[in-house]
């Protein structure tokens, strides 16, 4: 453990304060020679490298100091970072879904405050050149002081990362790991970085921003919270035995418009909608299914490349938008209470890199940037208002202005609702920015007051089953206890249980008749309990039967759906073949009839409106890049394209097979750009004039068209039935019951 995280022991003279100010001093004295090497250019990676190399001995000696201290303080210090942040567990006491884990309606108390950590970046070249005073002082225990002639204030956060903190330290000690664990357990978790422009938000979340330019990757020790989270998530999911999937989406909010960062082929503004079940969500957002860390990295790189960045006086690679990378983590885990039941948990992990607030005067923004800055500052103001209201116990129950910006709409769940949130406030140590720094610190302190009550969102049916099961479990325990009291044998299974229950009821009746009036009440109560128990048992097996039936129905619907899909694809292929032959499908009798529109692509039930990529789509290896920047996952290259369509079987391998007759006894239209005549047509053409051939083709076309419409009608009908049925059984798909 190094000495760069100022949550250390305040009493220890070697803690954050002493050593950090020492290193800062070193930094300042170093700056002269470093300036020469860098020729006055600020390079983020170099500044960090400088820190690591240049002041390496300082860090090293700090580490040694701490580690070699050999007294209890060191132990105390280390103990504070064993997977938790410095203060009490910021996310409540329970992180696993056991039978006692809270669900939406449970009264279990997971109330806690939002976890806020602070990162103070090292002074950059510009600040060092100006010989800016360093105004942040670190007192350990998560306390930071801003010490300047114009302001002197102290703030306390869950953890404070001092300028020398490494990317690794931030990942290990900010509480992100806990967030990831919770997302695997079904919670919606958000980590977001905020602060003034150039304060290190992007650096913290993804590593130095410029390293993504031109397809480069941040060196592994420079990788930010996001890349490290990918690795940790995949590693943790490896321990889940049931099915698990990760789906990723990546968007930015630029000038108050939502843009998909993964689907730039169809670049357009997306709508933010609201639904009762989902809350605020982005419509038609592209979703990529990821299996490996590489898949996730490719998503990040693609998004980073597409993000709006610009250069201004305070940051050469400034993010001009708020970005949100969301991973939906589905896991199927055996219910600890019933090995036949799988519970599907759908957790969410969102990483938000906010655009930085900026003083236009300082950033020297151009006209276009001015509009961006205004939008950025406005949405951050709305965020600030929401945070203030949520942090104020009196206002918390009232109106929270989430709807005032797209950013707050999309963060509504994380901030005010049932999610788990980690905020990483980023500031600079320089006196030049002391007012922005104090603003950020105030903002962060307000955020710390926000209380959240994380809950696991569950499918309503699963929730019902779970609560019934809990009830049954309690009743079973009660039953067992009462039987023990009556010295009646423990409850066996099946017929034996029924016989036993009958015997038990008889015994209760016998005893009731013999019992004293006081005891009679007890026996009556027992009898009632037995009846209730029996009813519950019936209800339970009824539920199991229903579940089985629903499962079977769903399977048969899926099969049906697949058959329909095959039909549709056949139709599409025929459509293509005819188009290739320059034929029109518009009926001469009814030219107003619309041409055949293929039904929407098959989507999984919960993603009906979203750009879903099938789990199997493009699973193959991507083509070699030949020195090009590494592409995102194969699936991203042509996100919404369907695989190349083959002609129908009878048209494969070139053109019409000899002797093939269409269902109507006519030769089919051939595939391919060039029109080739079948042997039969050749005979016809010899006999007929050019115009009669055209008539023949027209009449064939019309018949085929009619056929097409008939089939289309049938398919539409099936689709309607299917959609309706799916909406009824839709929610059932998230639950898998396995009866052995």
Binders of ligand ATP among residues 31 to 50 (CB under 6 A) are 44, 47-48
- Decide if residue 429 touches ligand ATP (CB under 6 A): no
Contact with ligand ATP (CB under 6 A): which of 319, 421, 610, 732? 319
- Decide if residue 199 touches ligand ATP (CB under 6 A): yes
- Decide if residue 599 touches ligand ATP (CB under 6 A): no
Longest dimension (CA), the chain: 111
Binders of ligand ATP among residues 62 to 91 (CB under 6 A) are none
Of 121-129, 148-156, 297-305, 698-706, which segment contacts ligand ATP by CB under 6 A?
Answer: 121-129
CB of 208 or CB of 632, closer to ligand ATP: 208
- Torsion angle of alpha carbons 523, 528, 532, 534, nearest 10°? 60
- Decide if residue 24 touches ligand ATP (CB under 6 A): no
What is the distance between the alpha carbons of residues 516 and 474, in angstroms, rounded to a whole number? 29
Of 119-127, 383-391, 515-523, 732-740, which segment contacts ligand ATP by CB under 6 A?
Answer: 119-127
Contact with ligand ATP (CB under 6 A): which of 2, 59, 158, 197? 197
Of 21-29, 33-41, 311-319, 508-516, which segment contacts ligand ATP by CB under 6 A?
Answer: 311-319
Nearest distance, CB of residue 433 and ligand ATP, angstroms: 11
Residue 682 vs residues 194, 664, 665: alpha-carbon distances, Å: 74, 19, 16
Ramachandran sector of residue 239 (left: φ over 0; alpha: ψ -120 to 50; beta: rest): alpha
CB of 232 or CB of 317, closer to ligand ATP: 317
Query: Is residue 334 classed as helix, strand or coil in its secondary structure?
Result: strand
Interface mask toward ligand ATP for 409-428; x: CB under 6 A: -----------------x--
Six token digits for residue 589: 């009798």
Nearest distance, CB of residue 200 and ligand ATP, angstroms: 3
Rg of the chain over all Cα atoms, to the nearest angstrom: 33
Contact, 335 vs 357, CB < 8 A? no
- Decide if residue 203 touches ligand ATP (CB under 6 A): yes
Nearest distance, CB of residue 255 and ligand ATP, angstroms: 15
Is 195 flagged in the annotation as binding? yes
For residue 432, give the nearest of 135, 730, 673 by alpha carbon. Answer: 135
Cβ-Cβ contacts under 8 Å for 541 (sequence gap 6 or more) = none
Contact with ligand ATP (CB under 6 A): which of 198, 429, 599, 667? 198
What is the distance between the alpha carbons of residues 244 and 178, in angstroms, rounded to a whole number? 19
Rounded to the nearest 5 degrees, what angle is found at the Cα of 683, between the Cα atoms of 680 and 687? 140
- Decide if residue 315 touches ligand ATP (CB under 6 A): yes
What is the distance between the alpha carbons of residues 184 and 182, in angstroms, rounded to a whole number? 5
- Decide if residue 355 touches ligand ATP (CB under 6 A): yes
CB of 326 or CB of 430, closer to ligand ATP: 430
Exposure letters 68-77 (e unless 16+ CB within 10 A, then b) = eeeeebbeeb
Contact, 346 vs 605, CB < 8 A? no
Is 610 flagged in the annotation as binding? no
Nearest distance, CB of residue 650 and ligand ATP, angstroms: 58
Nearest distance, CB of residue 124 and ligand ATP, angstroms: 6
Contact, 390 vs 416, CB < 8 A? yes
Cβ-Cβ contacts under 8 Å for 351 (sequence gap 6 or more) = 190, 191, 192, 205, 225, 226, 229, 324, 325, 326
Nearest distance, CB of residue 302 and ligand ATP, angstroms: 19
Contact, 677 vs 303, CB < 8 A? no
For residue 321, give the nearest of 304, 340, 336 by alpha carbon. Answer: 304
**Euclidean distance between the first and the last CA atom of the chain, given in angstroms as a whole number:** 50
Is 198 flagged in the annotation as binding? yes
Six token digits for residue 377: 């500052």
- Decide if residue 208 touches ligand ATP (CB under 6 A): yes
Contact, 520 vs 527, CB < 8 A? no
Cβ-Cβ contacts under 8 Å for 246 (sequence gap 6 or more) = 233, 234, 237, 289, 290, 291, 296, 327, 328, 329, 330
Q: How many residues bind ligand ATP (CB under 6 A)?
A: 23
Six token digits for residue 242: 């049931």
Of 18-26, 196-204, 478-486, 671-679, which segment contacts ligand ATP by CB under 6 A?
Answer: 196-204
For residue 669, give the nearest of 679, 654, 659, 656 by alpha carbon. Answer: 656
Query: Is residue 195 classed as helix, strand or coil in its secondary structure?
Result: strand
Of 197-205, 465-473, 572-580, 685-693, which segment contacts ligand ATP by CB under 6 A?
Answer: 197-205
Is 200 flagged in the annotation as binding? yes
CB of 277 or CB of 311, closer to ligand ATP: 311
Cβ-Cβ contacts under 8 Å for 324 (sequence gap 6 or more) = 250, 251, 252, 253, 350, 351, 352, 410
Contact, 334 vs 342, CB < 8 A? yes
Nearest distance, CB of residue 166 and ligand ATP, angstroms: 9
Of 117-125, 342-350, 624-632, 676-684, which segment contacts ligand ATP by CB under 6 A?
Answer: 117-125
CB of 315 or CB of 452, closer to ligand ATP: 315
CB of 44 or CB of 456, closer to ligand ATP: 44
For residue 325, give the nearest of 349, 357, 291, 342 by alpha carbon. Answer: 349
- Decide if residue 307 touches ligand ATP (CB under 6 A): no
Q: How many helices (H) and strands (E) does the chain have?
A: 20, 20
Contact with ligand ATP (CB under 6 A): which of 3, 16, 122, 417? 122
What is the distance between the alpha carbons of residues 278 and 282, in angstroms, rounded to a whole number? 10
- Decide if residue 173 touches ligand ATP (CB under 6 A): no
What is the distance between the alpha carbons of residues 376 and 252, in angstroms, rounded to a whole number? 12
Nearest distance, CB of residue 432 and ligand ATP, angstroms: 14
CB of 114 or CB of 123, closer to ligand ATP: 123
What is the distance between the alpha carbons of residues 551 and 721, in angstroms, rounded to a whole number? 17
Of 72-80, 108-116, 202-210, 514-522, which segment contacts ligand ATP by CB under 6 A?
Answer: 202-210
Six token digits for residue 645: 């369509």
Supply the DSSP symbol for 357: B
Contact with ligand ATP (CB under 6 A): which of 125, 356, 384, 391? 356
- Decide if residue 201 touches ligand ATP (CB under 6 A): yes
Nearest distance, CB of residue 210 and ligand ATP, angstroms: 6
Six token digits for residue 735: 């639950």
Nearest distance, CB of residue 379 and ligand ATP, angstroms: 13
CB of 222 or CB of 400, closer to ligand ATP: 222
CB of 112 or CB of 169, closer to ligand ATP: 169
CB of 40 or CB of 588, closer to ligand ATP: 40
Is 547 flagged in the annotation as binding? no
For residue 354, give the nearest of 432, 425, 429 by alpha carbon. Answer: 425
- Position of tokens 């002074």? 123
Contact with ligand ATP (CB under 6 A): which of 317, 342, 351, 585? 317
Contact with ligand ATP (CB under 6 A): which of 92, 209, 419, 633? 209
CB of 52 or CB of 723, closer to ligand ATP: 52
Interface mask toward ligand ATP for 234-273; x: CB under 6 A: ----------------------------------------
Q: Is the dihedral of CA 30, 126, 147, 86 positive or negative?
A: negative
Of 195-203, 390-398, 404-412, 578-586, which segment contacts ligand ATP by CB under 6 A?
Answer: 195-203
Residue with the shortest CB distance to ligand ATP = 44
Is 197 flagged in the annotation as binding? yes
Known binding-site positions for ATP: 195-202
Task: List residues binding ligand ATP (CB under 6 A).
Answer: 44, 47-48, 121-122, 124, 195, 197-203, 208-209, 315, 317-319, 355-356, 426
Known binding-site positions: 195-202
């Amino acid at each position: 453990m190094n000495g760069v995280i100022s949550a250390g022991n305040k009493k220890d003279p070697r803690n954050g304060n002493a050593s950090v100010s020492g290193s800062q001093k070193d930094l300042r004295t170093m700056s002269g020679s470093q300036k020469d090497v860098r020729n006055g250019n600020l390079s983020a990676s170099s500044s960090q490298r400088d820190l690591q190399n240049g002041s390496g001995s300082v860090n090293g000696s700090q580490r040694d100091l701490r580690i070699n201290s050999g007294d209890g303080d060191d132990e105390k210090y280390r103990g504070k970072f064993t997977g938790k942040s410095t203060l009490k567990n910021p996310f409540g006491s329970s992180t696993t879904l056991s039978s006692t884990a809270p669900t939406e309606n449970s009264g279990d108390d997971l109330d806690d405050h939002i976890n806020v950590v602070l990162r103070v970046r090292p002074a950059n070249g510009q600040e060092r050149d100006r010989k800016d005073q360093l105004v942040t002082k670190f007192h350990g225990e998560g306390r930071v002081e801003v010490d300047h002639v114009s302001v002197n204030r102290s703030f306390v956060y869950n953890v404070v990362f001092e300028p020398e903190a490494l990317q690794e330290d931030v990942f290990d000690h900010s509480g992100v790991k806990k967030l990831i664990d919770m997302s695997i357990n079904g919670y919606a978790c958000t980590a977001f970085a905020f602060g003034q422009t150039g304060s290190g938000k992007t650096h913290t979340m993804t590593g130095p921003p410029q390293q993504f330019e031109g397809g480069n990757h941040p060196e592994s020790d420079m990788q930010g919270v996001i890349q490290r989270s990918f690795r940790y998530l995949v590693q943790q999911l490896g321990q889940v035995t049931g099915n698990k999937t990760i789906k990723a989406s990546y968007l930015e909010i630029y000038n108050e418009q939502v843009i998909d960062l993964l689907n730039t082929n169809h670049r357009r503004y997306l709508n933010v909608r609201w639904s009762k079940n989902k809350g605020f969500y982005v419509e038609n957002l592209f979703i990529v299914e990821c299996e490996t860390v590489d898949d996730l990295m490719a998503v990040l790189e693609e998004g980073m490349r597409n993000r709006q960045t610009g250069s201004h006086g305070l940051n050469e690679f400034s993010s001009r938008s708020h970005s949100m990378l969301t991973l939906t983590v589905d896991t199927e885990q055996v219910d600890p209470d019933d090995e036949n039941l799988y519970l599907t948990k759908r957790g969410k992990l969102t990483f938000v890199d906010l655009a930085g607030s900026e003083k236009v005067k300082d950033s020297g923004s151009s006209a276009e940037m001015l509009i961006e800055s205004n939008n950025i500052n406005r949405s951050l103001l709305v965020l600030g208002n929401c945070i203030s209201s949520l942090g104020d116990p009196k206002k918390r129950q009232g109106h929270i202005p989430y709807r005032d910006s797209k950013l707050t709409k999309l963060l509504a769940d994380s901030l005010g609702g049932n999610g788990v949130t980690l905020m990483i406030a980023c500031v600079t140590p320089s006196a030049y920015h002391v007012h922005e720094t104090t603003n950020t610190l105030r903002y962060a302190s307000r955020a710390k007051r926000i209380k959240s009550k994380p809950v696991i969102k569950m499918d309503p049916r699963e929730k019902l089953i779970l609560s019934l099961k809990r009830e049954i479990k309690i009743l079973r325990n009660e039953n067992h206890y009462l039987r023990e009291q009556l010295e009646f044998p423990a409850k066996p299974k099946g017929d034996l249980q029924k016989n036993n229950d009958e015997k038990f009821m008889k015994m209760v009746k016998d005893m009731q008749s013999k019992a004293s009036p006081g005891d009679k009440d007890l026996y009556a109560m027992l009898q009632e309990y037995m009846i209730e128990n029996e009813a519950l048992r019936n209800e339970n097996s009824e539920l199991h039967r229903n579940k089985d039936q629903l499962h079977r129905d769903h399977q048969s619907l899926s099969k049906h759906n697949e058959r329909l899909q095959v039909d549709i694809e056949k139709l599409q292929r025929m459509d293509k073949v005819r188009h290739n032959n320059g034929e029109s499908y518009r009926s001469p009798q009814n030219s107003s009839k619309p041409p055949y529109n293929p039904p929407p692509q098959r989507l999984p039930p919960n993603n009906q409106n979203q750009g879903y990529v099938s789990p199997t789509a493009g699973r193959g290896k991507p083509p070699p890049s030949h020195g090009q920047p590494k592409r995102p996952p194969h699936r991203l290259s042509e996100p919404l394209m369907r695989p190349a369509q083959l002609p129908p079987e009878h048209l494969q391998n070139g053109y019409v097979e000899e002797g093939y007759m269409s269902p109507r006894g006519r030769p089919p239209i051939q595939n391919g750009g060039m029109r080739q005549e079948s042997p039969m047509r050749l005979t016809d053409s010899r006999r007929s004039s050019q115009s009669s051939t055209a008539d023949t083709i027209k009449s064939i076309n019309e018949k085929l068209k009619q056929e097409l419409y008939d089939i289309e009608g049938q398919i539409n009908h099936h689709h309607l039935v299917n959609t309706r049925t799916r909406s009824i059984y839709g929610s059932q798909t998230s639950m898998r019951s396995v009866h052995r």
